[in-house]
Structure 1
Amino acid sequence: MSPATALRRNSDLGAALAEARAAYAAARPRSAAQHERAREVLPGGNTRSVLIYGPFPTAMTRGQDCRLWDLDGHAYLDLCGEYTAGLFGHSEPRIHRVLHATLEEGINLAAVGQGEERLARLLCGRFPSLAQVRFTNSGTEANLMALAAARAFTGRGTTMVMRGGYHGGVLTFPASGTNAATLPLPFVHAAYNDSDEAARLARAHAGDLAAVVVEPMLGSGGCIPAQPGFLAALRALADETGAVLIFDEVMTSRMSGGGMQARLGITPDMTTLGKYVGGGMSFGAFGGRADIMAQFDTTLPHAGTFNNNVLTMAAGGVAMGEIFTPEAAEALFQRGEALRARLNEIGRQAGVPLGFTGLGSMMTAHFRQPLPDRPYAASPAEEALRELFFFDMLAAGIYLARRGMVALSLPVGEPEMDRFVAAVGEFAESRAALLRAGGIAG
């Protein structure tokens, strides 16, 4: 690196980001061409907004274990983990075997099967809140059906949600502003980790409060854990008002054999699941107290052609019955805790506003100190640093979420974590001046 390049790299955030974008684009001509072709028939060039980023997204062609290869031949360590859905990596042989065996017996059987009962029994045996459970095709559907059940059960209409919360593509609640795709249901918005505001709003809306839905750790909102006292306060408020407390554990269910509810000893009335529980296939689930779920025996319909599709039921049974045991969940949680501690030590040693919030195997980079305990509106400089971090990690052969989120998969071991720690250390050292200028230090 020339002295002039080094000076620009460490003194001007805009120039550094432009340089990183240019290097990214120059190294991926086939991904660029694929994006241009896709834009002709797909608005934005794909069908997942989270994958749309400039100048164009990297197109992947193959995955094995915790590795990915893109259209231009670059190899990556996969730390995105399909936004927590890819818990088992890309080539878990036990899941592959059961999927192949299931295909041999036929698909689209239009009937009940043994696989759904087996998976349901596994989940009810693991999550304290699940007396009974039903399946869907996504976490979004699971949350929608949980809300429908709570509204029908209580005869009320309003749902308390948290600013910064994400419960699916049509149930998104930004830290500031609104999301045009969110369904126009009656919502009241509370501040995450603010027990006093939650109490005030719950009591003000008590007569029509059907549900309180919360992530025990914000996922897309920055991997910010809920304070145990906050979740306990929501449990007490639901009891006080007669509302149904719903834990969205679509992501956090991986934090122990029975999710965060088991780890914290706080049991909601209903729980929603998704992502990895179906073995990496399209999957969602919702369940809870027997009296709430009994509505589906009598008055409340719940349709879905692929709710019990044989591939997901078979993969989920193996995933939750043989692979992701409570012991495996605890080991993964502890690996992630150790990794996050190492990463946060890098920022402290370098004296830069760089750190990671999270729990266990999920974490997100932030460019401010102290680390946040609730969602926030990032400054333009923070957003630029987040993008620069993403591009620098790609240049180091590490693939993570554009928003800076990491979700470890089971194949990620100590050598892979060492590699990530080294890459973050290089980022903190080489971009130190930019971090001090653009980050926020308390």
Structure 2
Amino acid sequence: MTDRIQTAYSEAEARYVAANSASRAAHETATASLPGGNTRSVLHWEPYPLYIISAEGYTLRDADGHTYVDLLGEYSAGIYGHSHPVLLAAITETAQRGLSYGGPHAAEARLAMLIKDRFRSIERVRFTNSGTEANLMALAAAKAFTGRYRGKIIVFDGAYHGGVLLFPLGCKDIWGAKEEAERASKYKVLRALNAPHDFLVATYNDIASVDALIESVPGCLDNIAAILLEPMLGSGGGVCATPEFLSHLRHRADELGALLIFDEVMTSRMYAGGGIQSELDVRPDLTTLGKYIGGGMSFGAFGGREDVMALFDPRAPGALPHAGTFNNNVLTMNVGATGLERVFTPEKARELHDLGDEVRDRINGLGDDAPGPGKKRLRVLGCGSILVFHFTGTSIENIASPADWKADEDPRLLDLFHLEMLHEGFYLARRGYVALNLALLEQDGRGELDRFVNAVQRFVVKFRDLVE
């Protein structure tokens, strides 16, 4: 970290502290009962996070009375914005008929049919309460269907598939290391946190890496149960998989007799609302979903080929049990179905996707593409309405995995960018993650996005000795 970055960050942090005394007090109160005052790690930042007291449309209001344009979009779960009248009406109408039934009801079949219509690879679907659960169940299905109960799972460095399925950049070598080499690693605790599967970690977008990993497994044709990946890395910085890479994974999964699983928990919103797979020639065996599809309620789902999902058919002898008190919660099912039918239509999905691409292109067009020696260029990765900011000297066309942007990225520049954007009135993740919501499609929302692009340009000009 250069002295200039540290000086600029210290000034921004002092301004932040002076403007947010109520949030600071709320944070200090929370630390008495929550470790670090927090029960969701990603929402913490230094010196302390803002405490939100209300939300409406595309705006948030904090404990100190500041109003922000919400560009975080609840990490892609908040696609409807806040307090959408159609969804509020659905919540009220549903709640008046009872919050939980303990039995099947029509809304779950209605939501399932809507999902089938949008995701071409999903022939049957089952619901969970989160994307994490969805991925856990998809892996269980893959092992059961292949009969490889001790089979290995291929995943990718920099991927995130839920709270117990984390593969941060740099874990690749540790996952394959002997215990002695692992002891000093910062990833040891994360490895202990993960669900107990035998994972093989490959490099994203690297066909040779995948092939070498497969060949390293004795009896690979009988010992690999699944390949699990995000078509766009969410926590991995918005890096998109190439069509060639995905086609190769499809070929290798078929060759191995393994299942190919697409984690589209974040990316299901893409294009016309059918996920990244809707624009590919590659079809996964299983797809996992989550986030916004529950209309703002807790939601997850896994689905795919009818023969694989038949494992969970309770009419069949020996069917796999799939429990979950709130799997078919009537609020989630009814509000989720209403959202897909009446609000996040395929037409609106495409409009939001195109808006995100437009904003990304505008920001990537700021300044010269060739930063000076030792300087970082602001670059925005992602797809459609998910944008991820980076400060790196590596050009976008040369970024194929998280290692490519992280090789020279100074995270304190992102910290500085985060505080500067908050000062400008824009709420986004500290790591530079942005997920646009439908409320921003309205004329005044588009105006706020224009203001955001201008704020980013002011940041680049203000800190031009650090960023070009």
Establish whether TM, by shorter chain, passes 0.5: yes
1:374 aligns with 2:401: yes
Contact 2:391 2:409 in 1 (8 A): no
> Which residue of structure 2 aligns with residue 388 of structure 1?
416
> Which residue of structure 1 aligns with residue 175 of structure 2?
none
CA-to-partner distance for each residue in 1:165-215, whole Å, 9 max, x for gaps?
000010010111332422231000000010121122234432211010010
3-state DSSP class of the match of 2:406? coil
* Counterpart code for 1:92: H
> Which residue of structure 2 aligns with residue 163 of structure 1?
157
> Which residue of structure 1 aligns with residue 309 of structure 2?
293
Q: Aligned partners of 1:364, 1:145: CA distance in 2, in Å?
A: 29
Distance 1:26 1:230, change over 3 A: same
> Which residue of structure 1 aligns with residue 356 of structure 2?
336
* Deviation of the 1:19 alpha carbon: 1.1
Contact 2:128 2:327 in 1 (8 A): yes
Q: Aligned partners of 1:202, 1:231: CA distance in 2, in Å?
A: 16
3-state DSSP class of the match of 1:143? helix
Q: Aligned partners of 1:381, 1:366: CA distance in 2, in Å?
A: 7
Which residue of the other structure, out of 339, 351, 355, is the alignment partner of 1:319? 339
3-state DSSP class of the match of 1:61? strand
Aligned-pair identity in percent equals: 50
1:141 aligns with 2:133: yes
1:198 aligns with 2:213: no
CA-to-partner distance for each residue in 1:137-183, whole Å, 9 max, x for gaps?
00000000000100111122210001000000100101113324222
Mapping of residues 204-353 of structure 1, within 5 Å: 204-205=216-217, 206=220, 207-256=222-271, 257-297=273-313, 298=316, 299-348=319-368, 351=371, 353=377
Which residue of the other structure, out of 184, 190, 201, is the alignment partner of 1:189? 201
> Which residue of structure 2 aligns with residue 419 of structure 1?
451
> Which residue of structure 2 aligns with residue 358 of structure 1?
382
Contact 1:269 1:288 in 2 (8 A): yes
* Counterpart code for 1:189: V
> Which residue of structure 2 aligns with residue 3 of structure 1?
none
> Which residue of structure 2 aligns with residue 7 of structure 1?
none
CA-to-partner distance for each residue in 1:208-242, whole Å, 9 max, x for gaps?
11010010000111011111111111111111101
Contact 1:350 1:428 in 2 (8 A): no
* Counterpart code for 1:284: G
* Counterpart code for 2:264: E
Contact 1:99 1:311 in 2 (8 A): yes
1:103 aligns with 2:78: no
* Deviation of the 1:316 alpha carbon: 0.7
* Deviation of the 1:348 alpha carbon: 3.0
> Which residue of structure 1 aligns with residue 180 of structure 2?
none
> Which residue of structure 2 aligns with residue 5 of structure 1?
none
* Deviation of the 1:353 alpha carbon: 0.8
Q: Aligned partners of 2:227, 2:37: CA distance in 1, in Å?
A: 36
Contact 2:155 2:229 in 1 (8 A): yes
Q: Aligned partners of 1:214, 1:164: CA distance in 2, in Å?
A: 10
Contact 1:36 1:45 in 2 (8 A): yes
3-state DSSP class of the match of 1:357? strand
Q: Aligned partners of 1:116, 1:203: CA distance in 2, in Å?
A: 43
CA-to-partner distance for each residue in 1:96-126, whole Å, 9 max, x for gaps?
1000000000112111110100000111111
1:119 aligns with 2:126: no
Distance 1:106 1:406, change over 3 A: same
Q: Aligned partners of 1:380, 1:50: CA distance in 2, in Å?
A: 23
CA-to-partner distance for each residue in 1:270-301, whole Å, 9 max, x for gaps?
00000001111100000010111011014211
* Counterpart code for 2:401: R
Q: Aligned partners of 1:14, 1:397: CA distance in 2, in Å?
A: 22
> Which residue of structure 2 aligns with residue 401 of structure 1?
429
RMSD: 1.6
Q: Aligned partners of 1:289, 1:320: CA distance in 2, in Å?
A: 22
* Deviation of the 1:435 alpha carbon: 2.4
Which residue of the other structure, out of 425, 428, 435, is the alignment partner of 2:460? 428
* TM-score, normalised by the number of residues in structure 1: 0.94
Q: Aligned partners of 2:334, 2:462: CA distance in 1, in Å?
A: 48
Distance 1:379 1:58, change over 3 A: farther
Q: Aligned partners of 2:39, 2:333: CA distance in 1, in Å?
A: 25
> Which residue of structure 2 aligns with residue 176 of structure 1?
170
Question: Larger deviation: 335-344 or 351-360?
Answer: 351-360
* Deviation of the 1:20 alpha carbon: 1.0
Question: Larger deviation: 63-72 or 364-373?
Answer: 364-373
Question: Larger deviation: 11-20 or 111-120?
Answer: 11-20
Which residue of the other structure, out of 44, 60, 70, is the alignment partner of 1:68? 60
> Which residue of structure 1 aligns with residue 183 of structure 2?
none
* Counterpart code for 1:273: L
* Counterpart code for 2:310: A
Contact 1:350 1:429 in 2 (8 A): no
Contact 1:354 1:367 in 2 (8 A): yes
Contact 1:202 1:241 in 2 (8 A): no
> Which residue of structure 2 aligns with residue 6 of structure 1?
none
* Deviation of the 1:347 alpha carbon: 3.9
Question: Larger deviation: 132-141 or 179-188?
Answer: 179-188
* Deviation of the 1:311 alpha carbon: 0.5
* Counterpart code for 1:228: P
3-state DSSP class of the match of 2:361? helix
* Deviation of the 1:26 alpha carbon: 1.1
Mapping of residues 2-81 of structure 1, within 5 Å: 12-81=4-73
**Structure 2 regions of 5+ residues with no counterpart?**
172-186
Contact 1:84 1:408 in 2 (8 A): yes
CA-to-partner distance for each residue in 1:298-334, whole Å, 9 max, x for gaps?
4211100000001000111011122112111111111
**Structure 1 regions of 5+ residues with no counterpart?**
1-9, 437-442
Question: Larger deviation: 58-67 or 345-354?
Answer: 345-354
Contact 2:79 2:437 in 1 (8 A): yes
* Deviation of the 1:336 alpha carbon: 0.7
Contact 2:390 2:409 in 1 (8 A): no
* Deviation of the 1:425 alpha carbon: 0.2
